[in-house]
Amino acid sequence: MDLRGRPKRCSLHFGILPFIVFALVFFGYGFVSHRSQELGTPGAMTRMVYAQPKALTPSRKDVLVLTPWLAPIIWEGTFNIDILNEQFRLQNTTVGLTVFAIKKYVVFLKLFLETAEQHFMVGHKVIYYVFTDRPADVPQVPLGAGRKLVVLTVRNYTRWQDVSMHRMEMISRFSEQRFLHEVDYLVCADVDMKFSDHVGVEILSALFGTLHPGFYSSSREAFTYERRPKSQAYIPRDEGDFYYMGAFFGGSVVEVYRLTKACHQAMVEDKANGIEAVWHDESHLNKYLLYHKPTKVLSPEYMWDQQLLGWPSIMKKLRYVAVPKNHQAIRN
């Protein structure tokens, strides 16, 4: 409500002003302190002892830790997980992790879930949402306290490109139907991966994307964005911040809903126009995140392939990594 420019406030008679001030101070104090107690107590952090942040000492000198729109880029060494865990515990945060195990990709579920139990959001409430066309093949993996798994049966498609692209449609549909009522944040991950180190609440924010491990040092002209103007995913060569990987993104449920709905609609439009973006859903994700800037950006620690890329020294941790596989055999 915008109260600016309302003349009423000026009519306050100066004769009664001292009385009102007195009354506010006298009776209002109890009211104000009661409110602030009500609002303040659940959110107040407990005493913690930790290394002091130093205004003149950068957390990392070798990498960019902040985008030009002031979104943090999450690298090891830039955050204190104890502080963040406390903050998110106070919010009673529940995180949904969506993963698609369609056709033969169900074989990746066991390792994905087992390693998520070791490394993903440990100490927080987690719901795994497993989308699959083979519900009977979802493995029984023992889950920790406060963690559960929900199987969502969906149809398969013949082409792996269609399987990949329809994930956006499924996530947006289920966000509306149930995720909005069940979790605070959604993390959308590929299944042919494993967690190999801590992935926690430091990634959570309204909207986040992950730097593609193959392009984090490339210039925008070299990004494999969709370059044909006919596609809804088109990005001209003089635009672009980063090349984000389609295999790990997320945010609040409402922001993920907006993203996945927009990407799905763009893909429907492309199909009607007889064009398919060069990297399918990933091309549309990149277009969306260019015009809806993410509020956090995850470094390639959160998306790595050691077989292809080795282990460079800027990568202090490899947290979510590719599992070696025979792609042709799995995709068909």
Ligand X SMILES: *[C@@H]1O[C@H](CO)[C@@H](O)[C@H](O)[C@H]1NC(C)=O
Active-site residue set: 282
Smallest separation, CB 156 to ligand X (Å): 4
Nearest to 164 by CA among 252, 70, 277: 277
Q: Report the residue from 86, 114, 117, 133 that binds ligand X according to the rule CB under 6 A.
A: 133
Smallest separation, CB 184 to ligand X (Å): 9
Smallest separation, CB 125 to ligand X (Å): 6
Count of residues engaged in binding ligand X, rule: CB under 6 A: 7
Q: Per-residue contact track with ligand X, 108 to 127, x per CB under 6 A?
A: -----------------x--
- Classified as helix, coil or strand, 301 is helix
Nearest to 283 by CA among 305, 309, 262: 262
- Rule CB under 6 A: say whether 91 interacts with ligand X: no
> Per DSSP, which regions of the chain are E strands?
73-74, 94-101, 125-132, 147-153, 185-189, 193-195, 207-210, 248-252, 296-298, 320-322
> Bridge-partner residues for 116, per DSSP?
none
Smallest separation, CB 330 to ligand X (Å): 11
* 246 vs 173: CA distance, rounded Å: 18
Longest Cα pair distance anywhere in the chain, in angstroms? Answer: 86
211-250 residues near ligand X, rule: CB under 6 A: none
Nearest to 98 by CA among 324, 281, 214, 256: 256
Smallest separation, CB 3 to ligand X (Å): 33
Nearest to 211 by CA among 286, 317, 323: 286
149-168 residues near ligand X, rule: CB under 6 A: 155-156
The nearer residue to ligand X, 48 or 136, going by C-beta atoms, is 136
- Rule CB under 6 A: say whether 103 interacts with ligand X: yes
Question: 162: part of which helix (H) or strand (E)?
Answer: helix 160-174
The nearer residue to ligand X, 133 or 176, going by C-beta atoms, is 133
- Rule CB under 6 A: say whether 92 interacts with ligand X: yes
Q: Per-residue contact track with ligand X, 267 to 306, x per CB under 6 A?
A: ----------------------------------------
Q: Report the residue from 59, 80, 94, 306 that binds ligand X according to the rule CB under 6 A.
A: 94
- Classified as helix, coil or strand, 99 is strand
Given the rule CB under 6 A, which residues bind ligand X? 92, 94, 103, 125, 133, 155-156
